[in-house]
Amino acid sequence: MQVFTRLRSAQFAHILDFALVLGGTAFATGTGFLLKVLIGRNLGPGQLGTFGICFAFLTIVSMLADLGVRYSLVNLASRAVSQENFTRARRLVAAGMLLKLVGGMLVAFTGWLLAPAIAEHVLNKPQLTPFLQITAVGVAVWSLWDGLEGALHVRQKFSWGAGCRITLEMLRLVAFAGLWGYAQGEYLTLDRFMWLYFATPLAALAIGFAMLKKLYSRGPNPTEARVKREELVELVVFSRGIFFYRSASVILLFMDSLMLTRYGELEQVGLFEAAKGLAFALLLVSESLQQVLLPKVNQIKTIRQIKDLVKKSGRYFAVLFVSAAIWMAVAAPFLGLFGERFTEPGVGTAFYLMVMVTLFTIPSTIWSTVLLTLDQPLTLGCIATGQVILGLILYPIAVPMGGPVATAATALTLQIIGCLVYGGALYLEVKKRERSEAESV
């Protein structure tokens, strides 16, 4: 009876953790969608396209600033906490935050300098230069926020992380409302809003660092709590494999918008971003699941546990498939919230295709997380890089032919291929380990 009670308690705790992260991510996704609606209605498709490209630029450049440090931080510090070595966990968190700060500052400075060349020669849109420079400045702040959220998740404080995320997104809404409502919207311009958009994480950082101070106290011996050079090196060395995979996967996630910007018009990008933003409401399930799985999946030690997790992923996929079908049936009219231009038939078709893209991210997310636990980051990196290379071949052909619809169809093709290859790689790895165990016995 006591065993049954403990199992139920553990299952409830897992569900609660997922619900807390899902709630925070859902709020962030909802406010992000609302901001896109407000930008589309008040500033037009072209400005929405500019905002979407800047967000893609932020995510990709932030990944370069991260170098896989967040994953290393969560992984190594979680192991230290599970071993009740809280002094080492504190040192790892401090080292990770230091690396995030330095990386964010360096990449922000470099991004500011390279923004004109990127806008003109990569995106073929010189008018994007000032917006990309503003985004580059935001990378430094966002890099710290990313590390802070990871440090909170190490100690399983998902509710604290969700609270900080909600605070951040609320401030962004307040910033837009202030510009929109003051002097009848006279000061509402995209550049002003973007400065405020990237400044709001500072408040969440202040709250979050107060939480970290409470979670990771120095202890009786301050000397033991100081950051050690070898742990800085350990974080960087541990992160090299994951950086290869994460960089390629993030580039793949935003390659559709980037390619549409290069080979299309900013208004087309705005229409596509509306469809993508509405479809990616389902993506919050994938993101929340990965954030909860990462600290817990390190506890997997047997092939049976891996198989159980893979079986559960089938249930997640089935639930999401039903959710996706319902979302496609009821959500398309919401595109009208952006404005009349966003109700064109092609935008709706792009929305349906992007919903399918999000659907196939769920099994890919779970299987790739398990492969990471099995120390296969190089395999994941090769798969994601292969998808990027295939995208570089397909997008230049598809985008000029079909605009946003062809862009979405190409994204779906790449996602399905990746999902199948991830599943195949995990199957082969499990079979390999089963044979190894059988031979050892």
Whether 233 is in a domain gets the answer yes
Looking at residue 311, its amino acid is K
Segment 282-340, tens digit of pLDDT:
766 656 655 555 555 656 667 777 777 777 667 767 777 887 888 888 888 888 888 88
By residue range, what is the domain housing residue 228?
15-440
Contact call for residues 34 and 225 (beta carbons, < 8 A): no
Segment 211-266, tens digit of pLDDT:
877 777 655 555 555 666 776 776 766 556 667 777 888 888 889 999 999 999 88
User: Is residue 397 very low, low, confident or very high in pLDDT (cuts 50, 70, 90)?
Assistant: very high
pLDDT of residue 7: 42
Counting the structural domains of the chain, the total is 1
**Of all residues in the chain, what percent carry a pLDDT higher than 90?**
20
Whether 4 is in a domain gets the answer no
pLDDT of residue 219: 56
Whether 7 is in a domain gets the answer no
* Distance, CA of 168 to CA of 148 (rounded, Å): 13
**Of all residues in the chain, what percent carry a pLDDT higher than 70?**
83
pLDDT of residue 217: 65
Taking the mean position of all CA atoms in its chain, how far away is CA 49?
19
Segment 15-53, tens digit of pLDDT:
666 666 666 667 777 788 888 888 888 888 889 899 989
pLDDT of residue 3: 41
Number of Cβ within 10 Å of residue 300's Cβ equals 17
Q: What is the largest CA-CA distance in the chain?
A: 77
Please list the helix, strand and coil fractions of the chain in percent, rounded to the nearest 5, in that order.
90, 0, 10
pTM score, whole prediction: 0.77
* Distance, CA of 353 to CA of 284 (rounded, Å): 17
Whether 2 is in a domain gets the answer no
Whether 34 is in a domain gets the answer yes
Query: Which of 129-133, 174-178, 350-354, 416-420 is least confident?
Result: 174-178
The segment with the largest mean pLDDT, out of 124-133, 156-165, 193-202, 229-238, is 124-133
Segment 377-387, tens digit of pLDDT:
788 888 999 99
- Radius of gyration for the alpha carbons in the chain, expressed in angstroms and rounded: 22
Looking at residue 280, its amino acid is F
pLDDT of residue 410: 96
Angle at 103 between CA 100 and CA 104, to 5 degrees: 80
Tell me the two tokens of residue 71: 């994953």
Collapsing DSSP to helix, strand or coil, 258 comes out as helix
